[in-house]
Chain A
Amino acid sequence: MKTQIRIYWLVQLLGWLSYAMIIFLVLYADNKLNWEKISLLSLILILGILVSHSMRWVFKRFNFFNLKPNVLIPRLFLVAFVAALVFQIIYSTVGVYFNRTTDSESLLQFLIDVLLVMFLFVVWIIIYFSYHFVRKSRIEEIKNLQLSDSQKEIELQNLRTQLNPHFLFNALNSIRALIDLEPKLAKESVTKLSNILRNSLLFGRKETVTIEEECEFVKDYLDLEKVRFEERLGIAWEIAPNTTKELIPPLIIQTMVENAIKHGISNLKSGGLVRISTYSQDENLVLEVFNTGVLQTRVDTGVGILNAKRRLALLYGEHAKFDLFQLENEVVARITIKR
């Protein structure tokens, strides 16, 4: 706020000084310069500053900044006119005192002078308000940006940390059965489950993870699903070595794999294969999950996919896309991220 006031006074002084300077130079060039003229010029300078400063007080006092243009503009003209009138009355009164050999004193001349001065104040107002509005809109822009940024952050946070409760439920059921039947496998599964929970907490705080980290997570996840589906769930990994350090949003492959199982494998009597593949293609990073089965054309593709799409849009905007399609006897979910 302090710098605002400083800028105001600087521009105010410089503006009126340069105006007075121009008149001074014109008079000088015409060789009409005398003490009388110089004192009138000083009067213009002081009056200009005082009157325009009073205008500013009026704007602030009556809160002109929040008015709509159609209300604001006529009022501004009114203020400019009143200001010019005040200016001209004082100027001519004092001027008569200084200038014994008065110029033409007709009313018409007075009005013309008022309009000329008014033009000066209109210019002043235009400069003042333009500066004010530009500054205001920039502040608002910054505010908006900050707001949408924090909204995005919150939304991402929510989207990221969703580990499907159905998965947890099924995993716990399987483990319960294993406790009596195969205690060793039960113990291993508990370890995997706690790995998954730990990582999903950890991943929830990160914006991106490496493909390697994500695959570790998915491996644990698939191991647990394998306990449930047994030979019905086949798994194949096709991770291109040059992609392992690439950064991707956490749990994005997991979401695709979960869908492949939920909508694919679990609906097949004799099960099928889930294939996870990552590779780079030109400037793109491609993540694919295949599953045996037929793509259901139902609209309710589920929260998982919508969720993944939303996350990609938030993080990459136009630079990432998600496709889901049938390829021979497999359903393919593909994410393409432009680098």
Chain B
Amino acid sequence: MKVLIVDDERLARAELNQLLKEHQDIEVVGEAKNVDEAIEMLNSIQVDLVFLDIQMPEKNGFDLLEALPACPEVVFVTAYDEYAIKAFDVNALDYLLKPVDPNRLKETLDKLRNRISISDEGVTMADKQNRLGLSDRIFIKDGEKCWFVELEKVRMFESEGNYVKVHFENFRPLILRSLNNLEERLDNKSFFRANRKYIINLKWISRIENWFNGGLQVELREGEKVEISRRQAIKFKDLMSL
């Protein structure tokens, strides 16, 4: 596994580096001392896992994740920001407390090895000319709450002014993006622009009905109903037919 360490303190990075040397399959490919450096590195080298400090000057760990199109595997390494960790749902991520305990680090890495080997079977961004596929994860921060969401769990994106509402499970957080911008980034085999207001996940469609004016209405598995405009309906039929 290729690992990037992001922490503003050299000693903290050096120590983690030292601890990771115990693990044969881990290769530290870079160290960044702030968010901007980290973004630069993530754009130029392939990384499987990021050890990320939350408290950093000017831009913090969350800022980094929000700036990335798709979220890499992340382990938060933090001193005492338990409240920041609590922003996440249970099991959404793993985190380590400073000073890092070698045994705890080993447990974390074991869990990650499992998860990464499973998700490798899916289709990820790299295979898709930089479009986000169903097994890619995105990081969402809405106010105090944070989520890591696999795109296959997202039923639809709904435009709300300058924001987009992300529908998954029973959450509907807002992200500061335009729907057009999102449409360009999402894999168009899985996500479909139904009309001006919605992008839907094709996997979640349960029923399709004819609608007025040659449009269609689809029902998602959670009961949401979305109209497909006439113009888009033609494309939709194209896409779905053999």
A177-B11 in contact (CB<8A): yes
Question: What are 12 contact pairs spanning A and B, CB under 8 A?
Answer: A172-B99, A173-B79, A173-B99, A174-B9, A181-B11, A181-B15, A229-B9, A267-B57, A269-B8, A269-B34, A269-B36, A269-B57
Within 8 A of B (CB), among A149-195: 166, 169-170, 172-174, 176-178, 180-181
Within 8 A of A (CB), among B12-41: 12, 14-15, 18, 34, 36
B10 shortest CB reach to chain A, Å: 6
Shortest 3 CB-CB distances between A and B: which pairs?
A177-B15, A177-B11, A269-B58
A268 at the interface (CB under 8 A from B): yes
Write the chain B residue with the least CB distance to A268: B57
B86 at the interface (CB under 8 A from A): no
A216 at the interface (CB under 8 A from B): no
Question: Chain A at the B interface: mostly helix, strand, loop or mixed?
Answer: helix
Known A-B contacts A269-B34, A269-B57; A180 and B18 likewise in contact (beta carbons under 8 Å): yes
Within 8 A of A (CB), among B168-208: none
Counting chain A residues whose Cβ lies within 8 A of the other chain, the interface size class is 10 to 19
- The number of chain B residues with a CB under 8 A from chain A is 16
The interface residues of chain B lying within 8 Å CB-to-CB of A269 are 8, 34, 36, 57-58
B163 at the interface (CB under 8 A from A): no
The 8 Å CB contact of B9, one of A180, A181, A228, A267, is: A228
Alpha-carbon gap, A177 to B80, bound state (A): 17
Alpha-carbon gap, A180 to B12, bound state (A): 12
How many A-B residue contacts, CB cutoff 8 Å?
41
Alpha-carbon gap, A170 to B6, bound state (A): 18
B128 at the interface (CB under 8 A from A): no
Known A-B contacts A176-B15, A180-B18; A267 and B58 likewise in contact (beta carbons under 8 Å): yes
Alpha-carbon gap, A268 to B8, bound state (A): 10
Question: Chain B at the A interface: mostly helix, strand, loop or mixed?
Answer: loop
B98 at the interface (CB under 8 A from A): yes
A36 at the interface (CB under 8 A from B): no
Write the chain B residue with the least CB distance to A176: B99
New contact pairs (8) apart from A169-B79, A181-B14, CB-CB < 8 Å = A170-B79, A173-B12, A178-B11, A180-B15, A227-B11, A266-B57, A267-B57, A269-B58
Write the chain A residue with the least CB distance to B37: A269
Alpha-carbon gap, A173 to B7, bound state (A): 14
The interface residues of chain A lying within 8 Å CB-to-CB of B58 are 267-269
The interface residues of chain B lying within 8 Å CB-to-CB of A178 are 11
Alpha-carbon gap, A74 to B200, bound state (A): 92
Known A-B contacts A181-B11, A228-B9, A230-B10; A173 and B98 likewise in contact (beta carbons under 8 Å): yes
B126 shortest CB reach to chain A, Å: 30
Known A-B contacts A169-B80, A170-B79, A268-B58; A177 and B14 likewise in contact (beta carbons under 8 Å): yes
Alpha-carbon gap, A266 to B57, bound state (A): 6
Within 8 A of B (CB), among A232-272: 266-269
B36 shortest CB reach to chain A, Å: 8
Alpha-carbon gap, A169 to B79, bound state (A): 9
B18-A228 in contact (CB<8A): no
A331 shortest CB reach to chain B, Å: 15
B17 shortest CB reach to chain A, Å: 10
The interface residues of chain B lying within 8 Å CB-to-CB of A180 are 15, 18
Write the chain A residue with the least CB distance to B15: A177
Select the residue from A172, A173, A267 with max chain B CB neighbours within 10 A. Answer: A173
A181-B57 in contact (CB<8A): no
Write the chain B residue with the least CB distance to A267: B57
B12-A181 in contact (CB<8A): no
B87 shortest CB reach to chain A, Å: 20
The interface residues of chain B lying within 8 Å CB-to-CB of A176 are 15, 99
A177 shortest CB reach to chain B, Å: 4
B34-A228 in contact (CB<8A): no
Within 8 A of B (CB), among A170-226: 170, 172-174, 176-178, 180-181
Write the chain B residue with the least CB distance to A228: B9
A228-B79 in contact (CB<8A): no
The interface residues of chain B lying within 8 Å CB-to-CB of A266 are 57
Alpha-carbon gap, A267 to B56, bound state (A): 7
A179 shortest CB reach to chain B, Å: 9
A291 shortest CB reach to chain B, Å: 13
The interface residues of chain B lying within 8 Å CB-to-CB of A229 are 9
Alpha-carbon gap, A178 to B15, bound state (A): 8
B191 shortest CB reach to chain A, Å: 37
Known A-B contacts A169-B79, A169-B80, A269-B34; A177 and B12 likewise in contact (beta carbons under 8 Å): yes
Alpha-carbon gap, A229 to B79, bound state (A): 15
B108 shortest CB reach to chain A, Å: 18
B5 shortest CB reach to chain A, Å: 13
The interface residues of chain A lying within 8 Å CB-to-CB of B10 are 230
Within 8 A of B (CB), among A59-96: none
